[in-house]
Structure 1
């Protein structure tokens, strides 16, 4: 491609940095769209104290896309010790983002200023300027509000949606988010928790409409492991079906899926207590949805867990761009 390809990555949590870190080293125009529905941990506490957009996912992306002295990113990621009373469990970066939000009046402008301070290569867009509440209806008919509560329920989810903080308040996407999606050459979903990191972005109405009308190639990076309750026994095709269903159309063109075997005795299921078992691949069911499965060894075993190898994923994404 003669110009920098415009790549938009959608998600949240700890999954996105895996592919962002290698991507920022390439000649691409990168935008990360990040969920603002987190209400657990330090993010949830700050959200409750001062009613700001939860900063945790944004902090992780800022660090992944920054080009600064590693000492600075180490400070951003530092969490106060549990014995530090009021500051216990808070990440320094979350407090900085909270302060910048008060200074600039909204999270979107705060992140743009902080991105300049941290020499971010690309753009980081919170999906909305206001904190959103994630809701889920489960297979048994129960409805729960709150990302942390949904995650800990460990129940099979039928579908999710978001609202503003106030009951009945319609969620609004930042205009820059919609513009980035419409102008993209490629949209990448994940890697990350399907129902609590990826879908909270795509169900925002303006985002949803943009994803159905953009001319970008759309790629879903399938999770390596299922999550308890959320995606138990899901194949890559079932992950894809949930994504397409929440968008309202079969928009995804490619599913990048790991087929390397995770050794039975490698994963520490106490340390990574949200995961269940390895995702199985179903190429025929992926094809039925109008997508092409790209299967390969994308596995990186580390920290007693199974993760995506960012460099290998990057190679596939750049190959897809070459095809179009």
Structure 2
């Protein structure tokens, strides 16, 4: 069996975690794979035509294919898998109106020509099921061999931390009053941002770390409390909670807005805490800042959950089984 993967870019996080890290498992199972970035224009698609023709299954990650390409693939009787981990049918949280006819029609068209859909969470699955009957949920996992548990050390400093990119930094900006209030309340608290861009704060020490793949795990281990603030909107419900999965994966408990998959990954008062309002954020962060033993206990529970449910070692056999059933 030959599977051709189409991804946004080899360095894009979704490509890395929802496609590239699965390839060794496919190879071990005897599946031949090829990975290509989405081409630009007619000439780009023409250059991909031979490998697409040669594949048995075309696995499309997140972006929607042009109708002409979809029609051509179906004429060749290719099986198409569509994998998505964002609410691509809606506008993002910065838009006043989340609804977009263009996005909805593009999503609907993609699913019309697709044989199987893989959604990153239950909300996305429900959206896909409006247009397709064969949809499965597969979370965005971490590699259990790479995500080693942090070693607990005694320190007066408590490190609040967030990891992300420029596309989601606005969530941290919107909650800036919370971080500053916690900084005024606890002089030993530091806010760490691991990203390609940063916010500016007052009243709390700010540690800026430029994201780097090779250093990412050590940077995550340096945190004491992970942060995942969201808005309660359609775009945010499509988020797949990967920041939380990363925090818990190294044994760091998290405080989150209980929206979408966040409610599934974080069990309130077990491996982290839920916070709906800014006052609740300050309250819940205070609980963890003041109690190192609780942080350690929740971190252990969080890591156990991730190792049981959210690793590529757990998810790869499921994806392989679905792909083989399709072939």
Report if TM-score (shorter chain) is over 0.5. no
TM-score range, shorter chain: 0.3 to 0.5
Larger radius of gyration: 2
Name the structure, 1 or 2, with higher relative contact order (CA <8 Å, separation 6+): 1
